[in-house]
Amino acid sequence: MKKPFLLACSLLALAFAGQAQTAAPVPPATPQYRPGYHFTPAAHWMNDPNGMVYYQGTYHLFFQYYPDGMVWGPMHWGHVTSTDLVSWKEQPIALYPDKLGMIFSGSAVIDVNNTAGFGKDAMVAIFTHHNPEEEKKGSNKHEYQSLAYSLDAGKTWKKYEGNPVLPNPGIADFRDPKVSWYEAGKKWVMTLATKDRITFYSSPNLKNWTKESEFGEKLGAHGGVWECPDLFPMTLNGKTHWVLIVNLNPGGPNGGSGTQYFMGNFNGKTFTPSSTDTKWASYGPDDYAGVTWNNTGNRRLFMGWMSNWTYANQVPTSPWRSGTTVARELALQQVGNQIYLTSQPVKETVKLFPSVTTFKDLTVNKTLDLTPKLKNVGDKFQLKLKAQQLASFSLVLSNAKGEEVIIGYDQPTNQYFVDRTKSGQLGFSDKFAGRHTAPRLSTSLQADVTLLVDATSVEVFADQGLTVMSELFFPTEPLSKLRLTADTSFLIQEITYAPLAPKAQ
């Protein structure tokens, strides 16, 4: 995918392509900002998750990577693996730029039936080549889709000699192929971002592609270019619904990058929405370009890039920039006559937090300081809150300097919120500070909220994952104090607190 400002991206790409660059000085290291359980590369720049595929007990996560700097540059595919979705091992870079261009976003599949002829069970990557020299000509044909394959479970890769397999018809934004096998039609289906809409293609062999249809020109949010789509079926009460994820930038619900989705039906050719309402997979500003793993059976697993193009190149971390959200399991839930996509931390996350402290029947009258009860709160933990009757409340993470992040629910507006206006370092971007909101979609009187706090981030999962928010923050010292506040007396049925296990850090 491109940077948020297309001109800036183009100029930068051309500069990198045309001559060697003098490496920018690396700022002082910030180990205090390194997450304990969200993936971050050891060094340098990363953005979109790519090529996510499960094979022989291993989850493969590829990602947009620039190995020569801490800001966006000529894209490669970085590579990490995991057997449990919570601990990741960095592997050698999988794909490097070549004469056809940089390696932009894409997906990977296991070609069980050897449809492409590379070999049975070949791991095949389908990605966008972005050609800066072609872009310079102004032909709008500088992005096209190509293949690479691995016959040793992702360890080494060979690019297909017939690349590109899907040339550009003259669309400036023609990228981010997400490919999956459509069993009913015995064919591969590609979901491709094309300017301000999605175009579906099909192929019997991953090499020859036929355009099937377009979707979304006048539906959904259109504040920016559509990017990083994903299409997959899910079941609710015995009925199959198709989910189409579409990332866009700008135009997110709280500014900058965002991830919307559509519910509907797909017949192998056309996606037909069942609702024209704009729905968001996440409302916080720091969850973008998220897609799902291929080849995971009945589980639908999702991961996003935990940043926002508005300030991603400026966040004060070193020697790396950016990371991912936690891996999430997706499901469907019906509220009224609407069907929503829900997401919650994968069940494997529980192994990170084995030591649990539980408090029952707590009453918050104005304020309740949990810090003395928990001895050492720390800045990497999971917290779950349950209430029989939801009312306005705030959870305040703070430090001795008065820096704070406030997470809560506002009953008059029926919104969850995260406020990072006093969260520490803010000067790197005038767009970073803010109080961000998300609607409460559940109609239940009861409530449950799960927080995952990890040094410089909080992820909020409310009402079984109906409302989700992801937020970054950069305090000058750890936010290791925790208190609850409420406008009126608020009865909490249960709070569980679990610090990150020392061996996981």
Annotated active-site positions, please? 48
Q: Catalogue the E-assigned strands of 267-403.
A: 271-273, 279-282, 288-292, 301-305, 320-321, 328-335, 338-345, 357-364, 367-369, 380-387, 393-398
The single residue listed with the structure tokens 């000067």 is 427
* Burial class of residue 234, CB neighbours in 10 A (0-12, 13-18, 19+): middle
Element (H, E) at 15: helix 6-18
Q: β-strands 239-249, 258-266: how paired?
A: antiparallel
Residues 6+ apart with CB under 8 A from 494: 358, 359, 360, 361, 384, 385, 386
Q: What is the DSSP letter of 205?
A: S
Structural tokens at position 376 = 């050492």
Q: What is the DSSP letter of 193?
A: E
CA 271, CA 268: separation in Å to the nearest integer?
Answer: 8
CA 246, CA 229: separation in Å to the nearest integer?
Answer: 5
CA 173, CA 430: separation in Å to the nearest integer?
Answer: 28
CA 95, CA 102: separation in Å to the nearest integer?
Answer: 9
Planar angle of CA 72, 77, 80, nearest 5 degrees: 110
CA 304, CA 289: separation in Å to the nearest integer?
Answer: 6
CA 268, CA 88: separation in Å to the nearest integer?
Answer: 35
**Residues 220 and 199: beta-carbon distance below 8 Å:** no
**Residues 128 and 145: beta-carbon distance below 8 Å:** yes
Q: In this structure, how many other beta carbons lie within 10 angstroms of the beta carbon of residue 449?
A: 22
DSSP labels, 446-461: -EEEEEEEESSEEEEE
Structural tokens at position 80 = 């990490």
